[in-house]
Every structure is written in structure tokens, then in C-alpha cells.
Amino acid sequence: MTDRAPSRILSLLGCRHPLVLAGMGGVARSELVAAVSEAGGFGFLGMVREPPALIRREVEAVRRRGIERFGVNIIPAATDRLLLEQQVDTILELEVPAVALFWDFDAALVRRLTDAGICVVYQVGSAAEAAAARDAGAAIVIAQGCEAGGHVRGTIPLARLLPDVVAAVDIPVLAAGGLARGDDLVTATALGAEGVVLGTALMAAEESFAHQYHKQRLLLAAASDTLLTDTFHINWPIGARVRVLSSAVAAGERGPDAPDRRVVIGEEDGRPIYLFSTDSPLRSMTGDFESMALYAGTGVGSISAIRPAADIIGALLAEADTAPIGAAAARDAANELASPVCYIGEMSGAYVGQLEAGEIAEEMTKLLGELQALLRNVAGHEVARNAPPFGPRSKALARWLAGLASAWPQSVAASQHIEAVGAGILQDHLGRLIPRLPDNDLRTGLSELRAWINDTCDQPQPQAPTPEPA
């Protein structure tokens, strides 16, 4: 997987792996950004509403570790205008290479940053917002599915949003929301993402600034323990929803006696933390952590230990790299077909009714496009409420795609835009193609794929449940 990493993201961000640390406010400080960067990923400092002095301190701390490529995240809609101006001035003065923006779209700010040569990354919850970000000059968009931890911009599950955003813009798209495992990277990539954004999974890192209480709560939780709520609202636009671990406060069982009364539940360096504030428990806080916003995405069930960020990233990449189904057979076949002494030439493909190398490449382009269309269809139907974004059939299908794409990489780019196909069309295509393939391994691999599609995708699709109330 790593050697097939999409190069546009790697060159734009200047990292080795297409893994991006979300700019989590409070949580993603210099220690975590540096650790992610040293492990080959790319990190954003979460600086929402932070004073310029803290931004400067954290940027300098990252640079002291010898890291030049990193970013800062700010959120205009959740920040007082004057403070926002100061934040932007500080970012420009420090020549921060990348800025991640989120929430209400601010085209003027995007232009100001891009004019200064900054790589602007916009996190969006819809294809329309992605197109607006692209038009304003953003270099990368993050498609955030409603499975994400923290503030959730849209209402669309990642499996449906991601293909729509990929189709809407020609700039690189990163996937976010509930992603925590290697097969999430494989599946998001197969659906057109050029990398993934990790929030919750890296909040559980030793280097994150989240309080131990929050990290321990992550270890015990499953996806179904998360929920979307607008209960935690102080300092954010009205109605903004967050995904948190369920708690008495999140469930609406605890509130102040009078609606407008602010109740102090904690403290950070003399600053009160109020009930219903969007602050999550940090190392620097004391107080009633269980009553604070315990952000978590639906990938939380995959977190079983607090580990160094490098271990989390290493494990994810290793899992993504494990031999995709059918990959070896496809790779051997592709190598053989590319060989100048290939026996097909000697035997004359036309005579035995077999396909020539060029025809096989054409067929593979078509096949990969059909597989991707089937994946979009299957993934869109596997969506479930408060669950990780990708179901088992999508993940298996994505592995097949990854295996074939590793042998025919040029076919993937050419095959992106095939509209929906049913499993039957693919089976027919495979049925006609397999007997005409000269290579035994490829015939076997594709026969296995055909049998798998027959067993798992040809069944009537269950009606997709409504994901989340808007």
C-alpha cells in the first residue's frame, strides 16, 4: 500500500505516507504533530481560538524538532473576529506551510492564505462545499463523513460522501471520519481518496494533549457508544453537532437549574470550563471530566491501547500492506505480460482465441472501473448509524481492487468514472474475460473474485438505514 501511496498528496504536504493528523483543538499540540511527522505522516496543530502567543510557541516547538512541513488548524466561524485576524497575521508571519480550515466557508480567507503561498486544506461535509473550496483556491479537501469525532459538518456517511466529493473536484481528496485501521485506508483509497485523516485514533496516542481520563474512556468504548449531539455548544454557531461518547450530559440527563445559568465544571490555568462548553478534557485541566465533551469518532472500537503515535501509524500501514486478495496472482500475470519473451506472442493470441497484452490492459481498465462502481454501490448500502464507515463487504472488495490496481496502476486512473453497475454485470464480464486470459494465475485469481461476488454481492441488498437525523 505504502509504495502505491498517492503522490499528489505526498508532494503537496511533503510527507512519506498519506496519513494526516486532524487539527484537533487542544489535543493536537506540538508533541503529537512532531511524533506523527517523524513517523512519516503530516500533522496539523489544533489551534482553534488559541491566542497568537500559543500558536507561536507551538509552531516554534515543532520546528525545534527539525520539522518543516506541518500545518495549523483554525476555525473562523468559532473564533471572535479580532482574535481570528491576530491568528492569521501570526500564521502569515511565521510562514506556516499549510492551514486547515473548517466550518462556515470563508473564501476571502482562503484567498488571503493561498496568495501568501500557503497550502490550504478545507474540511467539508458536502460535494457543493468541496467545489466552493476548490474554486476559492484550496489545494486539498477533506471529505468528513458523519462518523467523525468532534464537530461534524454534514449529515452524510463517508461511504456516500467520499465518491461524490471525488467526482466533484479534481484536487486531491482526503477521507475523514471513523477511520482507524489499515483496511480503512485501503477502502478509502479504493473509493478515490488520496489519503486519510485520523483524529480519534491519534487522540489515543501517548503524545496527544488529551487528558488521561478521555484516553481511558476511548479504550473502553465501541462505535455504538458514540452519538451526535448539539448539547456541547458554547462558543460555536447554533446547532453545530459533535460526535461524543455517550454520557449523562450528552444524553441530556444533566443541566443547570436555570437555562441561562453557566455552571463551572472545571478549570484550565485559571480559565473556567463550563458545562456544555466544547472544551474536551486536556492534560492542563482539572474538574469533572465525565461532564465535558468526550469527543470520539466511530472508529473508537479499534483502539485498544495508549501507544506512541509512531506505533499507531506503523500498525495501520502494516495492516494496509498485508497481501491484498488476488494481488500476487495479478502481479505475476502483469509481469509476465510485460515481458518481451512472453509466450503469448509465440503462441499467437489470435489463433488460440486468447487476448493480447494490450487487450488485457484494456479489459483490466474496464474491470477496475466496474469493480470501483460496485464498491461504491456496496459501500453506500452498508452504511449504519453510529457504526464505522466501511462494512465487511466493502473492505473485502477494496482489497480485490487494491490487488488488481497494484498490477495495473495505469488502469485505475482511467477507470474512475463508470456509473453504478450491479454484481451481475461484473459477473458476466468476468465470465467472458476469464477463458480468454492466457495466464493461469490471473484466471484463477479472477475466478476467485467471480465466486466471491457471486456469494456475497449478488444477494438482494438490505435497505440502507437512515444514517443520522439532519
Q: How far is the CB of 449 from ligand FMN (least distance, A)?
A: 31
Q: Which is nearer to ligand FMN, 2 or 235 (CB)?
A: 235
> Which residues, 3 to 22, sit near ligand FMN by CB under 6 A?
22
| Helices and strands, counts by H and E, the chain | 19, 14
x/- track of binding to ligand FMN for residues 189-228 (CB under 6 A)? --------xxxxx-x-------------------------
Q: How far is the CB of 245 from ligand FMN (least distance, A)?
A: 11
Strands, DSSP E only, in 277-347?
285-287
By residue count, the chain amounts to 470
377 counts as binding ligand FMN under rule CB under 6 A: no
- Burial-class residue 295 by CB neighbours within 10 Å (0-12, 13-18, 19+): buried
Q: What does the block give as the cell for 76?
A: 473562523
Q: Which is nearer to ligand FMN, 134 or 241 (CB)?
A: 241
- Choose which of 13, 15, 20, 27 interacts with ligand FMN (CB under 6 A): 27
> Which residues, 30 to 69, sit near ligand FMN by CB under 6 A?
46, 48
x/- track of binding to ligand FMN for residues 329-368 (CB under 6 A)? ----------------------------------------
- Choose which of 72, 99, 139, 176 interacts with ligand FMN (CB under 6 A): 176
The type of residue at 71 is: G
Single out the segment in contact with ligand FMN by CB under 6 A; choices: 86-94, 144-152, 307-315, 328-336.
Answer: 144-152
Pick from 89, 113, 176: nearest CA to 141? 176
Single out the segment in contact with ligand FMN by CB under 6 A; choices: 56-64, 143-151, 302-310, 330-338.
Answer: 143-151
Name the 3-class secondary structure at 191.
coil
Single out the segment in contact with ligand FMN by CB under 6 A; choices: 147-155, 256-264, 379-387, 393-401.
Answer: 147-155
Strands, DSSP E only, in 83-139?
98-102, 119-124
> Which residues, 269 to 288, sit near ligand FMN by CB under 6 A?
280
73 counts as binding ligand FMN under rule CB under 6 A: yes
125 counts as binding ligand FMN under rule CB under 6 A: no
Strands, DSSP E only, in 288-437?
none
Q: How far is the CB of 405 from ligand FMN (least distance, A)?
A: 25
Neighbouring residues of 299: CB distance < 8 A, sequence distance ≥ 6: 147, 178, 179, 180, 181, 184, 200, 201, 223, 388
Pairing of strands 150-152, 173-176: unpaired
Q: How far is the CB of 125 from ligand FMN (least distance, A)?
A: 9
To the nearest 10°, report the CA torsion of 209, 210, 216, 220: -120
Single out the segment in contact with ligand FMN by CB under 6 A; choices: 155-163, 291-299, 339-347, 427-435.
Answer: 291-299
> Which residues, 392 to 451, sit near ligand FMN by CB under 6 A?
none
Cα→Cα distances 162→173, 175, 379, 380, 389, Å: 8, 7, 10, 10, 11
